[in-house]
Amino acid sequence: MASTRRPAQPLAALASPDSDGSAAPDPSRAALPILRTADTHCPYCALQCGMRLEEDTDGKVTASPRGGGMCKKGWTAPDLLDHPQRLTGPLLRGEPVSWDEALDHVAAKVKAVQSAHGKDAVGVFGGGGLTNEKVYQLGKWTRLALGSKHIDYNGRFCMSSAAGALNRSFGIDRGLPFPKEDLLDAEVVVLVGANPAETMPPFMRFLRNAELIVVDPRRTATAQAAQLHLQTAPGTDLALANGLLHIAIEQGHLDHDYIDAHTTGFDEARQTAAGYWPAFVERITGVSVPDLYAAARLIAVPHSGSQAPPRPKRTVILTARGSEQHANGVDTVTSWINLALALGLPGRPSSGYGCLTGQGNGQGGREHGQKADQLPGYRLIADPAAREYVAAVWGVDPETLPGPGVSAVELLRKCGDEVKMLFVLGSNPVVSAPRAARVADRLKDLDCLVSFDFVMSETARLAEVVLPVTQWAEEDGTMTDLEGRVIRRRTLRPAPDGVRSDLWIMKELADRLDAPGTYDTDPEAIFEELGRASAGGKADYSGITYDRLEERTFQWPVPGPGHDGTPRMFADLTFPTPDGRARFCAVDHRHPAERRDSVYPLYLTTGRVLTQYQSGAQTRLIDALGDTPDSEQFLQIHPDTAVRHGIGEGDRVRITSRRGSYTAPARLTADIRPDTVFSPFHFPGAANVNAAVSDVLDPISRMPEFKVCAVKIAPAP
């Protein structure tokens, strides 16, 4: 299959208010006096756009951009604050109860389960949208109050493969190691499995000055803005990166001085790349040989000519979920880092490699203790020195801390067996986890499921106890955005009667469990403790305080009160590895866990759409987001493929894998490969694409292979 080189859609159009889904407040509504205002940030993606909230004397809350843009999800975020389906009191088996009754019941359940089955029989499933303060307290609460090793979170589905690759190549995991504004000076940006025009539209303005190369099986809105679209077969991005490295070696594009002075392991990577000659890569990926050479020229050769450049070309390579959500996701990301290192990009001005974080606190969410193997500051829980340090901050004996737990998918698999009781905070795994129908069955097998939520999500509907918690506009805290920037979330107004903070709930339960340690309810006090617990770790927040954040933001590490943060990592071309050098890691292409065959002849891939977010539990409730073509499930399918299967535009289709099936109306478009179909992952029940996707895991990151599995399709009744 040939890739596409078409006139790019102007980026200015994609970043405009109309095309990015933005919408101004309703002008027909008469203005009322403003009662309260708060400068905070959008509750959705990791771009964390600044917003100003205003509440009028009628109680109506509106949002407007602060220092940038917002997409339609941001504009309409306040609509959920007073939504009729908002939870405003605890539920026990579906019936309203008092907080004391609910918490007493939960504590009694914990004691009974652990008495019968041991401490690890109670688990916790967290979320990438929780504030840093909640993440920190949750990790501490799980390991001390519950005494359990079983904690992980939905961020395992998001950036874990990139984190694994970053750690082994650079010695540290920060999604963007530079400010996003640096992209304005880049000459070329390569987007691998990323569609920011729909997933984070305001980000597109940072790409307006660069030539874009987009790697994606679909001609997405982002690909339409690209100078070159490489339309790879799902699961072949690693072979593409190795092929581009092969061409870079062949054409003399390497920065040998950089490689010699700042890296190790290049010889092994070069030997591996030698096997990825262009015709071989074309057979694997579907990207034509001419387009492979065109991409290599765009990435490495200045416009002045093909001779040895006087300086490296300012190129940034960015990966996202499309390249990471695979059973070889860590190796795939590593292959793109290898290419960046070979060209001498990391640490250079407006150059390098980065990863686009997805969830609102996807970066901070994996730094301070809710990952199965981590303690605050990105310390490893199996490291004796780390255990001793954090235990001292918590005032407990290091021996009382449990060891590493298991990843999110493995934790869900244990439900009903080894894990008898589960707390779920800020997540909806019944919709978002792979093999979703089996996950629902596992949760039903628990002795007790407890959900912290503010709407009745599909997961909350299965819970024995539902505890209503504050929303983003009702709480203080910090978030860490996609560039490692720590920002303040500020309260606009109190929560409704009957709603409590997650922090308050953890403290109340800790008291009922006679837990060791202290559990504050004040976010500022918790953040101060987080700073002490993270001091000296990779993600060091010790120099950040709420007072300092009133004046400016800081990109970690910030290792002291006088430190100004670290906007640009590796700027001195040294890396936080034992020898100060970045590491090439030779990686080979592996086919997806499932190949197409005569029974399942198509590949299924998944992703997001402009108006919905994650499992859709919030955005599906907002009327203004429902009046769009993307407010319901659909199947994107090539017209030739549709004809072969007797499917017409709008026909309902049943899509079936070896694990399960879902149904969706067909949308015929030549913007997708004929061997591939696509559906978004925001929809529950019979429309849940995650009922079909694979739960095969990457051996390092334990990321499920969301992005490719073999399916068959047929007209549905």
Is residue 5 within 8 Å of 227, Cβ to Cβ?
Answer: yes
| Domain assignment present for 108 | yes
174 and 117, same structural domain?
Answer: no
Select from 497, 529, 555 the last residue of a domain.
555
Q: What is the pLDDT of residues 261-319, one digit of tens each?
A: 999 999 999 999 999 999 999 999 999 999 999 999 999 987 554 455 456 799 999 99
pLDDT of residue 68: 83
pLDDT of residue 652: 98
Q: Which of 2-11, 492-501, 573-582 has the lowest mean pLDDT?
A: 2-11
> Residue 298 is part of which domain span?
160-356
| Domain assignment present for 636 | yes
pLDDT of residue 12: 37
Which CATH number is 272's domain given?
A: 3.40.228.10
Q: What is the pLDDT of residues 174-193, one digit of tens each?
A: 999 999 999 999 999 999 99
Q: What is the mean pLDDT of residues 63-86?
A: 94
546 and 629, same structural domain?
Answer: no
Q: Which of 24-28, 360-364, 430-434 has the lowest mean pLDDT?
A: 24-28
Is residue 689 within 8 Å of 633, Cβ to Cβ?
Answer: yes
Rg (CA), the chain: 25
pLDDT of residue 17: 33
pLDDT of residue 287: 98
Of 78, 81, 139, 165, the closest CA to residue 364 belongs to 139
Q: What is the pLDDT of residues 151-177, one digit of tens each?
A: 999 999 988 999 999 999 999 999 999
- Within 160-297, strands assigned E span 188-192, 211-215, 228-230, 263-264
Q: Is the pLDDT of residue 515 over 80?
A: yes
Q: Collapsing DSSP states into helix, strand and coil, what is residue 554?
A: strand
230 and 290, same structural domain?
Answer: yes
User: Using CA atoms, how far apart are residues 309 and 43, in angstroms rounded to an integer?
Assistant: 44
pLDDT band at residue 626 using 50, 70 and 90 as cut-offs:
confident
| Domain assignment present for 232 | yes
| Domain assignment present for 426 | yes
pLDDT of residue 633: 97
Write the CB contacts of 122 (distance below 8 Å, at least 6 apart in sequence): 110, 113, 114, 146, 148, 150, 419, 420, 421, 422, 423
Which CATH number is 613's domain given?
A: 2.40.40.20
| Domain assignment present for 680 | yes
How many helices and strands in the chain, by DSSP H and E? 22, 28
Q: Is the pLDDT of residue 66 over 60?
A: yes
The residue type found at 186 is: A
| Domain assignment present for 64 | no
184 and 312, same structural domain?
Answer: yes
pLDDT band at residue 627 using 50, 70 and 90 as cut-offs:
confident
Is residue 46 within 8 Å of 363, Cβ to Cβ?
Answer: yes
pLDDT of residue 222: 97
Average pLDDT, whole number, for the chain? 94
Give the percent of the chain with pLDDT over 90: 91
Q: What is the mean pLDDT of residues 576-594?
A: 97
Q: What is the pLDDT of residues 209-242, one digit of tens each?
A: 999 999 999 999 999 999 999 999 999 999 999 9
DSSP states along 302-346:
-TT-SSPPSS---EEEEE-HHHHSSTTHHHHHHHHHHHHHHTT-T
Q: Is the pLDDT of residue 7 over 90?
A: no
Q: Is the pLDDT of residue 16 over 50?
A: no
693 and 612, same structural domain?
Answer: yes
Report the 10 Å Cβ neighbour count for 451.
28
433 and 368, same structural domain?
Answer: yes
pLDDT band at residue 3 using 50, 70 and 90 as cut-offs:
low
pLDDT of residue 439: 97
152 and 260, same structural domain?
Answer: no
Q: Is the pLDDT of residue 468 over 60?
A: yes
Q: What is the pLDDT of residues 239-274, one digit of tens each?
A: 999 999 999 999 999 999 999 999 999 999 999 999
540 and 458, same structural domain?
Answer: yes
pLDDT band at residue 11 using 50, 70 and 90 as cut-offs:
very low
Which CATH number is 416's domain given?
A: 3.40.50.740
pTM confidence score: 0.94
412 and 541, same structural domain?
Answer: yes
Question: What one-character DSSP code corresponds to residue 67?
Answer: S
Select from 555, 571, 586 the last residue of a domain.
555
Select from 292, 327, 356 the last residue of a domain.
356
Q: Is the pLDDT of residue 617 over 70?
A: yes
399 and 445, same structural domain?
Answer: yes
pLDDT of residue 32: 86
Q: Quick one: 17 exposed, middle or buried, by C-beta within 10 A (0-12, 13-18, 19+)?
A: middle
Q: Is the pLDDT of residue 28 over 50?
A: no
pLDDT band at residue 13 using 50, 70 and 90 as cut-offs:
very low
pLDDT of residue 196: 96
Q: Is the pLDDT of residue 19 over 50?
A: no
| Domain assignment present for 57 | no
pLDDT band at residue 475 using 50, 70 and 90 as cut-offs:
very high
Write the CB contacts of 256 (distance below 8 Å, at least 6 apart in sequence): none
Q: What is the mean pLDDT of residues 44-72?
A: 94
370 and 319, same structural domain?
Answer: no
DSSP states along 220-238:
-TTGGG-SEEE-PPTT-HH
| Domain assignment present for 420 | yes
| Domain tally, the chain | 3
Q: Collapsing DSSP states into helix, strand and coil, what is residue 466?
A: strand
465 and 369, same structural domain?
Answer: yes
